[in-house]
Structure 1
Amino acid sequence: MTARFAGRLVIAVTPSDIGRRVTIRRADTGGFRDTVGVLVSWEHGVLRVRRRDGELVEISETSVVAGKVVPDAPGRAR
């Protein structure tokens, strides 16, 4: 959803990216928060991202300052 071009944050995620792994940066009290996971829905101004631990994070579209699609997480060593 986000990329940095010449010092600017860019939102490069759209509803067509549902099902893909994304990173989302949003404005929060006192700064910014990042969420990485699979974009599971984007409806009525709310993005829902499922983190690796299973937590579903709801993010208001108006708070998003940056975002991008990212590669799948690397496999874990056994």
Structure 2
Amino acid sequence: MAGRLVHRVTPKDIGRRATVRVQLSDGRFRDIVGVLESWEDGVIQVRRRDDTVARVIEKEIVASKIVPQQPPRRRTGL
């Protein structure tokens, strides 16, 4: 059974870390992970870990969700 794509991020989530999936014009998907910096006039800005900013047009978003501020550490030595 395939997973269902859900867009859960809203303007109230500015300042939180999120993952946003957009569909490109060729049908492929692109995931952007970072802190939501702004959401104005249908354009979302996401600051990535490398400090670059991605501008995303809201209507191109096919899925999104809030993720933990720090990625979980990998457990070693189990």
TM-score normalised according to structure 1 size: 0.84
Report the CA distance between 1:8 and its aligned residue.
1.3
Unaligned runs of at least 5 residues, structure 1: 1-5
Could you list the structure 1 runs, at least 4 aligned residues long, displaced by more than 3 angstroms after superposition.
none
Count of aligned pairs between the two proteins: 71
Q: What is the aligned-residue RMSD (CA, Å)?
A: 1.7
Match of 1:71 in 2: 68
Is 1:29 paired with 2:19?
no
TM-score of the two chains, using structure 2 as the length reference: 0.84
Larger radius of gyration: 2
Structure 2 runs not aligned, ≥5 long: 74-78
Percent sequence identity is: 56
